[in-house]
Amino acid sequence: MTAEATEPRDPAPGDATPFPEAGMSSVEETELLRLAQAGHDEAFSEIVRRYQARLRAYTSQYIDTTSDVFELVQDAFLNTYRHLDRFDTARAFYPWLRTICHNLILNYFRARRSSRNVNLQLVDDALWERISSEEPAGDDLGAEQIESLRECLKRLAKSQRDLIYDRYHGGVAVKDIALSLRATAASVSMRLRRIRDRLRKCMDERMRRVT
């Protein structure tokens, strides 16, 4: 579904309201929605024209890739079109549209996370460098420290490993992780800090045994 204008069809005999001569841009939202629900493609194209910029701005708060933003917003309008008959025109339209888009954003991050095949035994130096870079001191790691990190990562719960992978290996922003988990950015940052502390304690214990 695109925002390009389509050729309007002639109103069916049972249609209560014909197309206005001034065009769809002059039609009030409630009437525009009623026309779209009745199957007028030009009415829905006008809905897209009115809201696509606003919806793209909303989506870009969470997704950085422009092509993904455009594709997701297009999918949001497609879903809206398919389920428009369920919408109560007595309600405000944009919050409903935004909810559809928000659910697609959540699915976007879930799909990214579930599609990864993470082998934590093969975690490389870059992972730890990114973890340690968030702390005041971060020395270069030797082979023994890297091996300790690998072993300590295996002791984490799967949800904790996924969180570490998303943030430090996948480079996903904290706000985006928070959105996918339906949590606040502050709570995600706290969880990451606790996991890092646990990894460091585990590594310290292993290194003391080695030395």
> pLDDT tens string for the chain (211 positions)?
444 434 434 444 344 444 454 466 667 889 999 999 999 999 999 999 999 999 999 888 878 788 999 999 999 999 999 999 999 999 999 999 999 998 898 888 777 655 444 433 334 344 444 444 444 333 444 556 667 777 888 888 988 888 887 887 667 888 888 888 888 988 998 898 888 888 888 888 887 776 6
- Containing domain of residue 184, as a range? 120-210
Domain co-membership, 166 together with 109: no
Of the candidates 39, 58, 37, 41, which has an alpha carbon nearest to the alpha carbon of residue 5?
41
Domain boundary, last residue among 114, 137, 170: 114
DSSP letters, 152-198, are: HHHTS-HHHHHHHIIIIIS---HHHHHHHHT--HHHHHHHHHHHHHH
| Residue 22 one-letter amino acid | A
- The closest of 65, 62, 25, 15 to 47, measured between CA atoms, is 25
Q: Which of 84, 44, 85, 52 is nearest to 71 (CA)?
A: 52
Helical (H) or strand (E) element with 85 = none
Q: Are 29 and 43 in contact (CB under 8 A)?
A: no
160 and 93, same structural domain? Answer: no
Same domain, 78 and 129: no
Read off the amino acid at residue 59: T
Number of domains in the chain: 2
User: Which positions ≥6 away from 209 have C-beta within 8 Å?
Assistant: none
Q: How far apart are CA 33 and CA 50, in angstroms?
A: 12
Q: Are residues 125 and 81 in the same domain?
A: no
d(CA 5, CA 204): 65
Tell me how crowded residue 205 is: count the other CB atoms within 10 A of its CB: 12
User: What pLDDT, on the 0 to 100 scale, is given for residue 81?
Assistant: 94
pTM equals 0.49
Element (H, E) at 30: helix 29-37
3-state class (DSSP) for residue 99:
helix
Last residue of a domain, one of 67, 96, 114: 114
Q: Other CB atoms closer than 10 Å to residue 195's CB: what's the count?
A: 20
